[in-house]
Amino acid sequence: MSRYLLKGGFVVPVDGSRRIIRDGCVLVEGDRIEMVGPREEVMPHAKGAEVVDAEKCLIMPGLIDTHVHLAQALLRGVVPDNLTLIPWLRDWVWRFLGVYDHMDAKASAALCILEMLKTGTTSFIEIHLHSRYGFDGIAEVVKQSGIRGVLSKTIMDMKGYATEENLMPPSMIEDGEACIREFKQMYQRWNGQADGRIDVWLGLRSAGAVSDKLFYEAAEIAKEYDTGITNHVAEVREDLEYYRRAYGTGVAGYLEKFNMLGERRVYAHCVWLNEEDMKKFAETGTTVSHCPSSNMKLGSGIAPVSDMLKHGVNVALGCDGGPSNDSYDMIREMKMAACLQKVRTLDPSVISAWDVLTMATRNGARAMGKLNMLGSLEPGKKADIVIISLTRPSVTPISNPVSLLVYAASGADVRDVMIDGKFVVKDKKILTMDEEEVIRQANKHLERIVSKVDPSLDLLKTM
């Protein structure tokens, strides 16, 4: 069994104590963390372990991105930058996604996973995979790459989103019964596969694309399969208007109506929550996946995250998609999350670097239902570990490492990434994927997609 001693540097365990261990060590055996502590405590137990020098580094738990669109990575820079959510979806994103075949989606997923791994994300939750993306090919990429992921099957049976005139193209619409059937097949084939790194969830489409009957059925199936549900919720004001018009309720009322509040219920955005919604989310252990960059870029609004935290809501972080963020870099996302709350409240004390680091690790683990095995560096937990190098000018001088991580660092400072006790990134090089080939394929598939959507489209003029 492999044993590693990650030695020296600052260890930031995020174990609830908010301690930083100067000159610390992490001992890893097989896929688990064996010991975390100061050098003199850990060293006597590390005989025979391979030593990984982490001087001038920060050692921390892997980042958990709780809202990802694997298929959208290819659309970075393709969709115009200055649109609000509904025209952005209707006139661009759906048209492009609607021409994908399995190979396009696989190329996009590989690009997205490559970026996530190289920037320190060790686990992610994919919001929904359309049948046209090819679930097996994407699951294979997850398996080969070494990342840990929740793959959710799209669940829908209607064609709208939020407003009457906002309709999906036929190529994006799926049949409700077929969705459920495919979820079951995918669950049988992939749930718990890749040494337990893959989970299969239900990825509901937003209100307007799911009938009441299918919402109830999805909640029942989640219970029967003991699995999670994720969805976009209250992202824009039009969502709130829809809940009011269709169900006569607010946000929590809509979710409660369909038995969709609880643990492993992860709702992206939740920009428009009120106090009553927050109380319901907190009472039931429902997770908000906060996506600050996406909300800012699409002009969707500012989620009241510091209020949610005060109410005890489990708030995790998400990068969302290629054309709305436009990166899958969770370190940058932590800074966005912190700064946005400070400017929302005109009070820089409402959220700290520790708060957002906790959102990006422990709260993400809880969102996945895996806080007992992920989200912090503690003996017995899975060895999902990131080593950040504090040597570039932008993270110098070495001072408070948690402040440096959140406000000064970016994914480019990630040096090593370990998942399940195996290095997947070492000295900034990916070990489990052919980086050049992934990039070559991404460029090739974008060309194919553009030619299928509109061969005369000039990407230099879309901005």
Question: 74 or 386, CB closer to Zn ion?
Answer: 74
* Site size for Zn ion (CB under 5 A): 1
Looking up tokens 């993306």 gives: 133
Q: Which phi-psi region, left, alpha or beta, contains residue 46 (left: φ > 0; alpha: ψ -120 to 50)? A: alpha
| Stretch near Zn ion under the rule CB under 5 A, chosen from 185-193, 242-250, 312-320, 432-440 | 312-320
Cα angle 278, 281, 286 (rounded to 5 degrees) comes to 145
Using CB under 5 A as the binding rule, the residues of this chain from 315 to 344 that contact Zn ion are 320
* Closest distance to Zn ion from the beta carbon of 329 (Å): 16
Q: How far is the CB of 272 from Zn ion (least distance, A)?
A: 15
C-beta of 320 vs 329, nearer to Zn ion: 320
Nearer to Zn ion, 7 or 69 (CB): 69
CB neighbour list of residue 346: distance below 8 Å, 6 or more residues apart = none
DSSP codes of every residue in 276-290: HHHHHHHHHTPEEEE
Task: Output the DSSP codes for 334-345.
Answer: HHHHHHHHHHHH
| Distance between CA atoms of residues 309 and 121, nearest Å | 23
> Within 13 Å of residue 149, how many CA atoms lie on the same side as its CB?
30
**What are the tokens at 178?**
């077929």
- Cα distance between the two ends of the chain: 52
Q: How far apart are CA 27 and CA 7, in angstroms?
A: 8
Residue number with CB closer to Zn ion (115 or 320): 320
Question: Smaller CB distance to Zn ion: residue 4 or 161?
Answer: 161
Q: How far apart are CB 159 and Zn ion at their closest, in Å? A: 18
From CA 365, how far away is CA 358, in angstroms rounded? 10
28 SS3 class? strand
Q: What binding mask, one character per residue, do residues 130-159 give for Zn ion by CB under 5 A, x or -?
A: ------------------------------
The nearest distance, CB 291 to Zn ion, in angstroms, is 7
φ, ψ dihedrals at 9, nearest 5°: 80, -175
Question: H-type helices in 346-417, by residue range?
Answer: 353-360, 362-367, 401-403
CB of 82 vs Zn ion, minimal distance in Å: 18
What are the residues facing 430 on neighbouring strands?
A: 425
Q: Least distance in Å: CB of 42 to Zn ion?
A: 41
Site string for Zn ion, 264-303 (x = CB under 5 A): ----------------------------------------
Of the pair 157, 320, the CB lying nearest Zn ion is at 320
Measured from the CB atom, is 65 or 320 closer to Zn ion?
Answer: 320
The two structure tokens encoding residue 143: 């398996």
The least CB distance from residue 179 to Zn ion, in Å, is 18
Length of the chain: 463
Least distance from C-beta 324 to Zn ion, angstroms?
A: 7
Q: Which is nearer to Zn ion, 300 or 432 (CB)?
A: 300
Q: Can the peptide bond before residue 397 be classed as cis, meaning omega within 30 degrees of 0? A: yes
What is residue 62's DSSP assignment? Answer: P
What residues does 316 pair with on adjacent strands? 289
Name the nearest CA neighbour of 449 among 76, 64, 114, 157.
76
DSSP state of 408: I
Q: Which is nearer to Zn ion, 68 or 139 (CB)?
A: 68
Pick the piece of the chain touching Zn ion (CB under 5 A) from 15-23, 71-79, 314-322, 369-377. Answer: 314-322
Residue whose CB is less far from Zn ion, 126 or 320: 320
> Residue 182 or residue 320: which is nearer to Zn ion going by CB?
320
> Taking CB under 5 A as the rule, which mask of x and - marks residues 92-121 in contact with Zn ion?
------------------------------
Instruction: Please tell me whether residue 239 binds Zn ion under the rule CB under 5 A.
Output: no
- The residues, ordered by sequence, that sit 6+ positions from 399 with a Cβ below 8 Å of its Cβ are none
Closest approach of Cβ 128 to Zn ion, in Å? 9
Q: Residue 200's beta-bridge partner residues? A: 151
Segments of 54-129 assigned E as strands: 57-61, 63-68, 121-126
In whole angstroms, the minimum distance from the beta carbon of 346 to Zn ion comes to 28
Query: Could you tell me the smallest distance in angstroms from the CB atom of residue 294 to Zn ion?
Result: 7
Q: State the residues that interact with Zn ion by CB under 5 A.
A: 320
